[in-house]
Each structure stands twice: as C-alpha cells, then as structure tokens.
Amino acid sequence: MESSISRTELNRISLADPDIQKSVALLKQACLDSGFFYVVDHGISQEFMDEVFAQSKKFFDLPHSEKMKLLRDEKNRGYTPMLDEILDPENQVNGDYKEGYYIGVEVPADNPEANKPFYGPNQWPTEEVLPKWREVMEQYHREALRVAKSVARIIALALDLDVDFFDRPEMLAKPIATLRLLHYEGRVSNPAKGVYGAGAHSDYGLITLLATDDVVGLQICKDRNAQPQVWEYVAPVKGGFIVNLGDMLERWSNSIFRSTLHRVVLDGRERYSIAYFVEPSHDCVVECLPTCKSETNPPKFPPITCSAYLSQRYKDTHADLSSYSDGKA
C-alpha cells in the first residue's frame, strides 16, 4: 500500500515532565509499536530552531559550484549532492532526490583522535560566503547532543539499565554525533517507478533526532516483513523532534527494540529537514545487553565495534568519491 494512507500521530515524550516513569512507559510502548516517537519540551527555543532552518536554506541556495567546493571528504564531512546517496538500491532507479551537508564532532587535524574514521575537522563555508553559519551549526550540534543524552537516559531505564548507562566514556561521553542538513527538491516521488526523496532504510546508530519543516514527506513501515508493506506518513510536529531508533540499538537490545524502515515520499513541494544521528564512540563494542538476553533468548547478533559497523554502512549507501571526476570544482 502506498502514499494514500492518513498521517499517524506518535507518542509524545516531554523532557520537562518530572514523572520519569511516565516517559519510560511511553517510550517503551512507542519502541514496541513503531520505533518512532516525538520529543517535546526539549529546551531548544523555536526562535533558534527557525534560525538553523534559515541558515540551512542559505547554504542550499548557493550556486552548485560553490557547494561543490565543500564536497564531502573521506570523513563524510561536507556537501552531498543530489543523487549522491542511494538507500534502497533494489527499488530505486536513481539515488535520493535530496542534497545534504554533514557536520560531525569538531576535532582538530593535529589531534591524534582525528586519525579515527569519524573524527576530524569539519568543512565550513567561509564567513564571507555565509556569515555566522558555523557559529549557528556548532551551537545546534551542542544543543542536540544534550537532548539526545536526555533521551538515551530514558531508553536506558526502559531497558532496565542504570540511568547513566549511555553516559559512559565509550558511549555518549565521546560520541560519533553527526548533524545532517537536508534539502529535498520539488520533485514528485513515485514509489511505483522507483523514484523517492529518500529510499527505504533504517538508521545506523543509537537514535536519530529529526526536525522537519511543515511539509509532509516522512513515511514509516511498522512491519518490514509484511506483504505488501504498509506505509504511513508521520505528521510533522512544530517545535518538536521526531525520534527514531537505529540499528545499533536493535543489536544492543537483541531486537526487543526495533529499528524501523522509513523513507521520504514527496508531493512536489520543496522540503527541508535536519537530522542528528547519535552513535557511541569508535571503539565501543555493540553487543547484546545483559538485560536483553536469556537462555531462551540468546544474542541474535555478533559483537561489532561502532566504527567498523558505521564504516561499512556509509560505504554501502554513498557514491564513491572518485566518481566526482572534476574534484570539487
């Protein structure tokens, strides 16, 4: 079934609610139902969110030649052109009809940590081209990480772990946290012909915080094994985040919490969104949590480091950089 389905409303978790057990219960239900939920009252002002979206639009409004000067590097920092990414190669005839911009944790090039695959210096537009742009994006990166850590504490309690389980150094104290600005061009998607804003996929990491404009486009499939698959639009929520669980959390929880298939199907209007992908440190070993296994429910996934898992997933979904034969010109 395709895009005629009505919008779905997700559970809303308020980070300002003093009743943490209520938040835990809502999150558990959401994770068992769809793997998606809303987070509201997160402490990031609407005024600042509007500014981040405005600055994002300023970048994507630049001439293509200017954006290509910031083409993503081997660390996946910088600009990703239209059709660069193909998330569902079995069903897509082209890549995704979106362009993006990756901003990771800023680590100076002379820092030994910068030798790791997902740490290093970011690429930034110059102040002459986009004044204040870096300042706004770095502030948003910090604010979003704060929100993500608050959500991770609720997830920890929902999995019968200590509340600070994900705060440990190998987890979110030194995360691979990536901000990605996204712009979908005004093209009508046609799933029957393999044309999507973004192909069907699940996210790779722990959680994703997604801020969107008011243009509907995100769809989720609660049961990826259903035939035919049933897709539902997720209604945007003003001032809130749509949060979804990633594949690493599914591995950690031994599939108790599932990462959910989702895609972007567009009606011809331009759409902007801002995704914040949260993963643990490079060396963190993602393996079945002690509270999620038993004799009758042994671990379903082998242990793997975060770095190895992410490296393979990015390689699988992005065009080879050598395909941009003209370099960054």
Q: 181-231: per-residue pLDDT in tens?
A: 999 998 899 998 989 999 999 998 899 999 999 999 999 998 888 888 899
Q: Return the closest-CA partner of residue 277 out of 148, 90, 184.
A: 148
Residue 3 has pLDDT above 60, yes or no: no
* Confidence label for 2 from pLDDT (cuts 50, 70 and 90): very low
Question: In sequence order, what are the residues at sequence separation of 6 or more whose Cβ sits closer than 8 angstroms to the Cβ of residue 249?
Answer: 155, 205, 206, 207, 257, 259
Question: Average pLDDT, stretch 243-267?
Answer: 92
Residue 209 DSSP class: E
- Structure-block tokens of residue 188: 């009508």
Q: Return the closest-CA partner of residue 118 out of 107, 126, 134.
A: 107
C-alpha to C-alpha distance for 156 and 153, rounded to whole angstroms: 5
3-state SS, residue 143: helix
User: Tell me, what's the pLDDT at 83?
Assistant: 87
CB 90 within 8 A of CB 74: no
Q: Return the closest-CA partner of residue 32 out of 40, 20, 24, 21.
A: 24
- Residue-wise pLDDT for 84-136, tens only, equals 888 888 888 888 899 999 999 999 999 998 988 889 999 999 999 999 999 99
User: Tell me, what's the pLDDT at 4?
Assistant: 43
Confirm or reject CATH 2.60.120.330 for domain 12-318, answering yes or no. yes
The model carries a pTM of: 0.92
Q: Return the closest-CA partner of residue 97 out of 236, 326, 271.
A: 271
CB 98 within 8 A of CB 59: no
- Residue-wise pLDDT for 166-177, tens only, equals 999 888 988 999
